[in-house]
Structure 1
Amino acid sequence: MRLTVLGGGGFRVPLVYGALLRDHAAGRVTRITLHDVDRARLTAVARVLADQAAGVPDAPEVRSTTDLDDALRGADFVFSAIRVGGLAGRAADERVALDQGVLGQETVGAGGIAYGLRTVPVAVDIARRVARIAPDAWVINFTNPAGLVTEAMAAHLGGRVIGICDSPVGLGRRVARTLGADPDRARLDYVGLNHLGWLRGLYVTDERAPGGERDVLPALFDDEGLLTSFEEGKLFGAEWLRTIRSVPNEYLHYYYFNRETVAAYRQAGQTRGAFLHEQQARFYDEMARPATPAWQAWDRTRAEREATYMAENRETAGAGERAPDDLESGGYEQVALALMRAIAGGSAAAGEEGGAGATRRGEGTTLILNVPNGSTLDVLDPEAVIEVPCRVDGNGPRPLPVSRLTGHEAGLVTAVKAVERCVLEAAESGSARAAVQAFALHPLVDSVNVARRLLDGYREAHPGLGYLRR
């Protein structure tokens, strides 16, 4: 198979290549094309990949290009992992929001809206070009905000674009291990939107139970020791998890503890985006020197990045440092590999990777993905992209039945989906009014006047948002 990575100069590309190097099954990826608008970053990442491939006789061939059409031609799969505006843009998103006293995280709240307004027009152009140049390719969207961007691309690619995220995978694996279940065999009842979902059940095989499986999640809420032994338990606290009787995606900490998180972000020496911008700038500067050991420089930077993930949230919750097993690699890249192999007809091999959250039950693979709703959630229309377990085979993903949303879950999901629709309208029409509406309607922005100031601040920080005039 031939794989194209858009955003091929991105820092996490070696994770993808590492997964491909470990895959030796029939039908594997044999050529990977990296595309990026930044030639220097492409060169740096290509050096890291060359170090990774050393001593691997069947390593996939790597080529790089700054020509998008050239990158797309002949592709079987396209990974969209772009970052419009780079990490400097993310840092600006955070700063503008915090200046108004609201959250600026890159996928949640004001920062997520700003990122979406910058990204959707570029993602739509990519979708149109894929449809023209590589109409048989499957697009796997890594680009954040993943649900919003996937929905924008689906308008031009239909079901051939699928959004992925590793947060539900990590959540499911942590809870399964905590309950003594096999993470690769447990069935997850997970429902919501990207970065706005809840684990509602965790089912294990039990021939004595109705349907041959038993939900072991309720046992978690009855054991204080278990409930506070894993990342989300520490982050949200045992009392709150017992109250809502589900385990939220870690990003819901921004909603449930918004004031505390905003205060922590404002008091921090620098925002997450500013930290990553400085850290990765050092990495790419270091890589500009030919003598730099590429793999060592990249791996050292990666370890620091992962150890500091959501540090302000954990500090607010008193959760301490992340557990060592939560720092293991095996996120996006393993989900993407399992998804590719299931679509390409290698579903049995996909589940063998481990660590991907792939569950094999007969033919096909089960993965938590961002896909059109269809009739899965009755509170949303069929075209709304949601994040739920899906059955994947050569025809693509099909959403599986999930628990019905509770009242407060449905409220958040419908409110955030309405915001996403305003972003899509603004990106398509250039409507500044729709952009203000997106900010004003978000649950984490509490004022129409703040919404107007946010748009003004973002247009000043990002000249590319000048298209929002009407």
Structure 2
Amino acid sequence: MKKNELKVAVIGGGSSYTPELIEGFINHYHELPVKDLYLVDIEKGRKKLEIVGGLAKRMVEKARVPINIHLTFDRQEAIKDADFVTTQIRVGLLDARARDERIPLRYNRIGQETTGAGGFAKALRTIPVILDICKDIEALAPNAFLLNFTNPAGIVTEAVIKYSNVRSIGLCNLPIGTRKQIAKLCDVDVSKVEIEMVGINHLNWTTKILVDGVDITESILHKAAEASGLTMKNIPDFGWDKAFLLSLGALPCSYHRYYYMKDKMLEQQLEDLKTKGTRADVVKKVEEELFELYKDPNLAVKPPQLEQRGGAYYSEAAINLISSIYNNKKDIQTVNVRNNGTIPCLPDDASIEVNCVIDSQGARSVQITTEMTPKIRGLLQIVKAYEELTVEAAVHGDYNAGLQALTIHPLVGSIDVAKKILDDILEENREYLPQFFSN
């Protein structure tokens, strides 16, 4: 029987993204009756939590919806008897992200928050914390759904699949953003666009595009080669080569630029490093401005400047998923789930990002129609192997698994460089990686 009142815990509640999530709960209160919304953070994040919490309370009051906003540093209090737990944490804050992006660049390798060596470093810090949260959920809210937005979302989801019994789904704003970009390209409402996505988080291919039920994939590939705007805020908008897109037969996600345009992307990052710093440095400035706005006691809505943060459609993706589970909608969304044979060339317990039916039981993957040709399969299997090794390194403090993970990753790909990057990551993140230093 469906509950009339819901409890939701947001771990990482002091995030600059939180007002977007609050806006989503307000706009969808008619179908998602959240009574208690707990915003949780750690003591280091007290100031941000208080600022964001204040804005959240003003937003709810202005909208006149009966949602009780609770601010707490007691994670267990927030999780106890929750129906949904969302995670949007950044272990080590933006200073750690800046290190993640700078370390690989020292060795002329791409430094990016979720992809390559930067994503590897973030995973090492994040996975143990997420698994600790899972222990609380298992003990205090065994029927809750964990919806993870924390990057690297696919690797984190895989760790939860392998080392926890929690009902979890990994979430990313990229798939919903891709649908909206295609709709804009075709000048149609997004509701008319259907896509099939195949792959893993931040390495997925849109292999089929339908508008009003008509397959227009090839037409979109022609248009995409000449279009701008098919990217995320944090990824340079380099256009796709038409011959390459047509030979691939699929639309690569924004993050594929790091693989398919590796030299160009590295050159851009090194240039930016001299002028603007890393993406983390840019985000720091954006966040400082946002939190100054959030402090305004007269502000009671999500400010438009939040879109510059890079998390567009975060609220839409999160609220759509929660509402579809709560209301047993049985609609299709693209999320991160256990493979279970959906992509035959990957292990059953791998995390994949594909179309799923969303109902009261969670997410169930839809059988893909795409043939896994070498054009997709080759890169996919290599990066998935890197992800598997990264999970083992993070969970067990396994240096050897970490070395192998970085060595086989296409954006590192050299024993000597992999070893230097790994040693730098471990040394500069020592306080967050006790699993590597406990012996």
TM over 0.5: yes
Match of 1:101 among 86, 97, 108: 108
Aligned partner of 1:248 in structure 2 is 252
Aligned partner of 2:151 in structure 1 is 144
Aligned partner of 2:33 in structure 1 is 28
Checking the alignment, whether the CA contact within 8 Å between 2:39 and 2:70 is kept in structure 1 is yes
TM alignment of 1:30-109, pairs within 5 A? 30-37=35-42, 38-109=45-116
Aligned partner of 1:123 in structure 2 is 130
Checking the alignment, whether the CA contact within 8 Å between 2:76 and 2:136 is kept in structure 1 is yes
Q: What are the ranges of 5 or more consecutive residues in structure 2 without an aligned counterpart?
A: 1-5, 232-236
User: Once structures 1 and 2 are overlaid, which stretch shifts more, 174-183 or 135-144?
Assistant: 174-183
Q: 1:179 to 1:451 in 2, by over 3 A?
A: same
Q: Distance in 2 between matches of 1:222 and 1:432?
A: 45
Question: 2:39 aligns to what SS in structure 1?
Answer: strand
Match of 2:317 among 335, 348, 360: 335
Structure 1 length-normalised TM: 0.84
Checking the alignment, whether the CA contact within 8 Å between 1:97 and 1:103 is kept in structure 2 is yes
Q: Distance in 2 between matches of 1:160 and 1:126?
A: 13
Structure 2 length-normalised TM: 0.90
May I ask how many residue pairs the two structures share in their alignment?
421
Q: Distance in 2 between matches of 1:221 and 1:304?
A: 27
Aligned partner of 1:299 in structure 2 is 303
1:228 partner letter? A
Match of 2:411 among 418, 426, 444: 444
User: Offset of 1:275 from its aligned partner?
Assistant: 1.6
Cα shift readout 1:425-466 (whole Å, capped 9, x = no counterpart): 112221111111111111110211111111111122212235
Aligned partner of 1:214 in structure 2 is 214
User: Offset of 1:295 from its aligned partner?
Assistant: 5.3
Q: 1:156 to 1:468 in 2, by over 3 A?
A: closer
Question: 2:191 aligns to what SS in structure 1?
Answer: coil
Checking the alignment, whether the CA contact within 8 Å between 1:235 and 1:253 is kept in structure 2 is no
Match of 2:343 among 367, 377, 384: 377
User: Offset of 1:305 from its aligned partner?
Assistant: 3.0
Q: 1:42 to 1:187 in 2, by over 3 A?
A: same
1:408 partner letter? K
Q: 1:416 to 1:287 in 2, by over 3 A?
A: same
- Give the RMSD, CA atoms, in angstroms: 2.3
User: Offset of 1:243 from its aligned partner?
Assistant: 2.9
Q: Distance in 1 between matches of 2:171 and 2:270?
A: 30
Aligned partner of 1:421 in structure 2 is 388
- 1:9 paired to 2:14: yes
Question: 1:83 aligns to what SS in structure 2?
Answer: coil
Aligned partner of 1:318 in structure 2 is none
Aligned partner of 2:3 in structure 1 is none
User: Once structures 1 and 2 are overlaid, which stretch shifts more, 1-10 or 18-27?
Assistant: 18-27
Checking the alignment, whether the CA contact within 8 Å between 2:134 and 2:166 is kept in structure 1 is no
Between the two proteins, what is the percent identity of the paired residues?
A: 30
Aligned partner of 1:319 in structure 2 is none
Checking the alignment, whether the CA contact within 8 Å between 1:196 and 1:413 is kept in structure 2 is yes
User: Offset of 1:404 from its aligned partner?
Assistant: 2.3
2:321 partner letter? L
- 1:238 paired to 2:206: no
Q: Distance in 2 between matches of 1:176 and 1:27?
A: 27
Q: 1:281 to 1:27 in 2, by over 3 A?
A: closer
Question: 2:303 aligns to what SS in structure 1?
Answer: helix
TM alignment of 1:391-470, pairs within 5 A? 391-402=357-368, 403-463=370-430, 464-469=432-437
Aligned partner of 1:361 in structure 2 is none
Question: 2:158 aligns to what SS in structure 1?
Answer: helix
Q: What are the ranges of 5 or more consecutive residues in structure 1 without an aligned counterpart?
A: 206-212, 310-328, 348-363
Question: 1:172 aligns to what SS in structure 2?
Answer: helix
